[in-house]
């Protein structure tokens, strides 16, 4: 079974575009290849994310061939390998920690915005994404030759959604969109802990 309508699992408290509700992080991937033009469109969306001083600190290392993905598997945790091996695209997201101005204090924040844009465009293109930090960061740095002035942020599996039943049995029951805590528990007014509304 493929879940096509996240609205059955998620109810926003206020009106928002459906793309925000429909974006979720399945673990079941089809092995169907992602056409290059669609893949480029999701990175084009990421390119337009905001960043301090327009530094654009984000960088992406893409693995879309069998050989390249095998290299990535060498640093992915055993648990994540049980499901992400079917994903046709793996992307390691990095952020440049410094700029001509010195330390870029918002490199991770800005790169998170780029990841968000990428994920939403992927949803609009009929793809699913699943970010993970369950991998060996230093081994990734070594295997992929990443310089020290780049922080490793996350690894993302990208592709078309697969069948829930294709997952190991322990993951099948988790394979559905998850809700969010109420907005009132997230927004504070004036001081920390002072609930808004």
Q: Is residue 175 part of a domain?
A: no
Total structural domains within the chain: 1
Across all residues in the chain, what is the average pLDDT? 94
Q: Give mean pLDDT, residues 137-153.
A: 98
Q: Name the residue range of residue 76's domain.
A: 29-165
Q: Is residue 78 part of a domain?
A: yes
> What is the rounded CA–CA span in Å between residue 90 and residue 80?
12
Q: Give mean pLDDT, residues 91-115.
A: 96
Flag whether pLDDT at 128 surpasses 70.
yes
pLDDT at 7: 73
Q: Is residue 191 part of a domain?
A: no
Residue 54 Cα distances to 41, 49, 104, 107, 121, angstroms: 20, 9, 11, 11, 21
pLDDT at 68: 97
**Side-chain half-sphere CA neighbours of 102 within 13 A:** 1
> What is the rounded CA–CA span in Å between residue 37 and residue 53?
29
Cα dihedral angle (186, 17, 162, 69), rounded to 10 degrees?
Answer: -70
> What is the rounded CA–CA span in Å between residue 167 and residue 28?
6
CATH code where residue 86 lies: 3.40.109.10
Q: Is residue 194 part of a domain?
A: no
Enumerate the H helices of 125-161 as residue ranges: 137-144
Q: Is residue 120 part of a domain?
A: yes
pLDDT at 8: 76
pLDDT at 2: 64
Mapping DSSP onto H, E and C, the string for 91-113 reads EEEEEECEECCEECCCHHHHHHH
pLDDT at 38: 97
Q: Is residue 47 part of a domain?
A: yes
Flag whether pLDDT at 41 surpasses 80.
yes
> From the centroid of its chain, how far is CA 166?
21
Q: Is residue 135 part of a domain?
A: yes
User: Which band of pLDDT confidence, cut at 50, 70 and 90, is reported for residue 3?
Assistant: low
pLDDT, one tens digit per residue, over 63-98 is 999 999 999 999 999 999 999 999 999 999 999 999
| 3-class secondary-structure state, position 63 | strand
Q: Is residue 101 part of a domain?
A: yes
Neighbours of 63 (CB within 10 A): 20
């Amino acid at each position: 079974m493929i879940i096509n309508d996240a609205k059955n699992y998620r109810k926003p408290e206020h009106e928002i575009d459906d793309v925000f509700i429909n974006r979720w992080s399945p673990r079941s991937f089809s092995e169907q290849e992602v056409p290059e033009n669609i893949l480029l469109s999701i990175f084009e969306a990421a390119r337009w994310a905001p960043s301090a001083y327009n530094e654009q600190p984000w960088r992406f290392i893409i693995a879309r061939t069998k050989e390249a993905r095998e290299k990535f598997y060498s640093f992915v945790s055993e648990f994540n390998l049980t499901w992400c091996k079917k994903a046709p695209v793996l992307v390691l997201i990095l952020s440049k920690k410094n700029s001509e101005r010195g330390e870029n204090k918002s490199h991770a924040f800005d790169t998170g915005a780029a990841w968000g844009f990428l994920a939403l465009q992927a949803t609009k293109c009929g793809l699913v994404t699943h970010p993970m930090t369950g991998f060996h960061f230093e081994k990734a740095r070594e295997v992929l030759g990443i310089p020290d002035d780049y922080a490793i942020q996350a690894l993302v599996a990208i592709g078309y959604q697969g069948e829930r039943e294709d997952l190991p049995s322990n993951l099948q029951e988790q394979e559905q969109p998850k809700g969010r805590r109420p907005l009132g528990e997230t927004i504070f007014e004036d001081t920390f802990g002072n609930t808004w509304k």
